[in-house]
């Protein structure tokens, strides 16, 4: 069984969309989306520097657009591709909702534009950030973070938990790592996402969600909240809204993939983060990260081998 996944914020790098714009029709599609959300996705995906695309209001729609573009390219390379399940990490859940047919592409981009702006406003209230802890057991790491006033905002599995909180709290963490933690790595994000610091964004997303036209997922949609497979479109969106201020449980998503019988995993552009986690948490499951169109051949081969189940 093939699983298709979409990465979250922090995966973006300067110029990462440039090679995708060489594919027929991609530039026109990106231009139409840019007009729909009043954001120049072409500029930010090709010419903007790292500081510009670190801005939450820019990074989030850029990542969803990248995921949709690369998924469309994959669909053209492998007509009728039928993953057994889809999921996304954090903002990647909106990308996954579009994969599953809950939202059309333009609606997904309008929703993520609202999400990015609302979360950027919430992040501006207090100076906050996030840092990845590599190594250590959850039973030791989580209580240590809570002692410092931090939130385990992303429980990613494979020995990785992301802490979120104020810059002062993160500085204290750097000086006082939990037992077993090898490194604390600051992330390229501009706020403490998936914590109470994002609560002001929830109401704005709830209002935006009321304007959406939804469908039920046409493939299994695995939720960040608890790794559950969600079959109702309204519940998918309700979970997306609430997830802004609550932890991401990617570890439970990967447990669900395993329970469903995953045999292969493809991560859409800008791929790499989730395939890295899968290699450690799902040993023996082959993966492909779509970083550039050059990776489509490997994805085509993987799809041919793993879509029968």
Active-site residue flag, 223: no
Residue closest to 120 by CA, chosen among 221, 32, 39: 39
Active-site residue flag, 34: no
Q: Which entry of 144, 194, 197, 306 is annotated as an active-site residue?
A: 194
Question: Using an 8 Å Cβ cutoff, are 199 and 119 in contact?
Answer: no
- Token digits of residue 121: 């406003």
Q: Which entry of 34, 70, 90, 107 is annotated as an active-site residue?
A: 90
- Token digits of residue 49: 């520097």
**What helix, strand, coil percent values describe the chain, rounded to 5?**
50, 15, 35
Three-class SS state of 105: helix
Distance of alpha carbon 119 from alpha carbon 308, whole angstroms:
40
Distance of alpha carbon 45 from alpha carbon 22, whole angstroms:
13
Distance of alpha carbon 152 from alpha carbon 305, whole angstroms:
37
Q: Token match 């948490």: residue?
A: 281
Q: Regarding beta strands 220-222 and 229-230, do their DSSP bridges make them parallel or antiparallel, or are they unpaired?
A: antiparallel
Active-site positions? 90, 194
């Amino acid at each position: 069984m093939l699983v298709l996944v979409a990465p979250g914020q922090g995966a973006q790098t300067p110029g990462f969309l440039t090679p995708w714009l060489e594919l027929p029709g991609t530039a026109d599609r990106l231009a139409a989306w840019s007009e729909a959300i009043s954001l120049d996705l072409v500029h930010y995906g090709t010419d903007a520097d790292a500081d510009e695309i670190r801005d939450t209001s820019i990074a989030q729609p850029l990542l969803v657009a990248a995921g949709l573009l690369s998924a469309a390219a994959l669909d053209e390379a492998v007509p009728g591709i039928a993953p057994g399940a889809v999921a996304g990490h954090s903002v990647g859940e909106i990308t996954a909702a579009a994969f599953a047919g809950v939202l059309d592409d333009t609606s997904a981009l309008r929703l993520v534009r609202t999400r990015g702006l609302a979360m950027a406003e919430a992040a501006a209230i207090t100076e906050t950030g996030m840092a990845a802890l590599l190594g250590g057991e959850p039973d030791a790491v989580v209580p240590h973070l809570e002692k410092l006033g931090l939130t385990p905002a992303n429980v990613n599995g494979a020995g990785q938990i992301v802490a979120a909180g104020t810059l002062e709290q993160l500085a204290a963490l750097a000086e006082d790592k939990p037992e077993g933690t090898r490194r604390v790595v600051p992330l390229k994000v501009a706020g403490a996402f998936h914590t109470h610091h994002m609560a002001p964004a929830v109401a704005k997303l709830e209002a935006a969600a009321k304007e959406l036209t939804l469908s039920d997922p046409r493939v299994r949609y695995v939720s960040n909240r608890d790794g559950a497979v969600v079959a109702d479109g309204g519940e998918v969106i309700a979970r997306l809204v609430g997830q802004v201020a609550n932890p991401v449980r990617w570890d439970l998503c990967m447990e669900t993939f395993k329970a469903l019988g995953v045999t292969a995993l493809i991560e859409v552009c800008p791929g790499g983060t989730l395939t890295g986690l899968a290699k450690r948490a799902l040993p023996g499951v082959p993966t492909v990260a779509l970083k550039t169109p050059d990776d489509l051949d490997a994805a085509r081969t993987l799809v041919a081998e793993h879509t029968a189940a």
